[in-house]
Structure 1
Amino acid sequence: MASATITSKGQVTIPVDVRDHLGLATGDRIEFVLNEETGRYEVVPATRSVTALKGIIRKPAKPVTIEEMNAAIAEQGGSAR
């Protein structure tokens, strides 16, 4: 069984065999998911496909024109400065 030590900053180095098994690489994110049945946390890769994002934002009531998009971008860009 793989093990790791928590540093004083709360950081953990995930052992290479665990990273390989999960398909993790530098810069990848992970999630800690509580398994309600066992009461234990599971470490899972926090990767999602683009298709999983479908439907996360609802369609506007009316179509937005390119001119309206450009105006909104210009307005937001001007207020960010």
Structure 2
Amino acid sequence: MREITTTLTKKGQVTVPVEIRNFFGLKTNDKITFKISDGIVQISPAKYSIEDVYGIVKPISKPENFKKLRETAVNEYVQKVYKELNK
């Protein structure tokens, strides 16, 4: 286990070391979760709820042909399985 020390500011802020930011792929304004259990604090990237991400993806401009999409997906899956079986 690796130990990294950082400093708590007057405002109660801590800079997350670059090694940890890189490990988790954290970027500016990402949320972090602190879990406390048996005197140990764990840090991890926050998991977003559906409410947090609502509106990020723009709706499609035209209705999809779901029958065609399903047919395409099934055909692609069959081809993948066929290739795997014939290796």
Normalised to the residue count of structure 2, the TM-score between the two structures is 0.49
The alignment of Structure 1 onto Structure 2 pairs a total of residues equal to 49
* Structure 1: tracts of 5 or more residues without a match: 51-81
In 1, the alpha carbon distance for the partners of 2:22 and 2:42 equals: 16
Q: Which residue of 2 aligns with 1:6?
A: 8
In 2, the alpha carbon distance for the partners of 1:24 and 1:6 equals: 19
RMSD: 2.0
1:2 deviates by: 1.9
* Structure-to-structure mapping, 1:32-47, within 5 angstroms: 32-35=34-37, 38-47=38-47
Runs of 4 or more off by more than 2 Å in structure 1? Answer: 47-50
Normalised to the residue count of structure 1, the TM-score between the two structures is 0.52
In 2, the alpha carbon distance for the partners of 1:47 and 1:26 equals: 16
1:48 deviates by: 3.0
Higher relative contact order (Cα pairs below 8 Å, separated by 6+ residues): 1
Contact 1:2 1:18 in 2 (8 A): no
* Structure 2: tracts of 5 or more residues without a match: 51-87
More deviation, 41-50/10-19: 41-50
1:42 deviates by: 0.2
1:29 deviates by: 0.5
Instruction: Decide which structure has greater helix share.
Output: 2
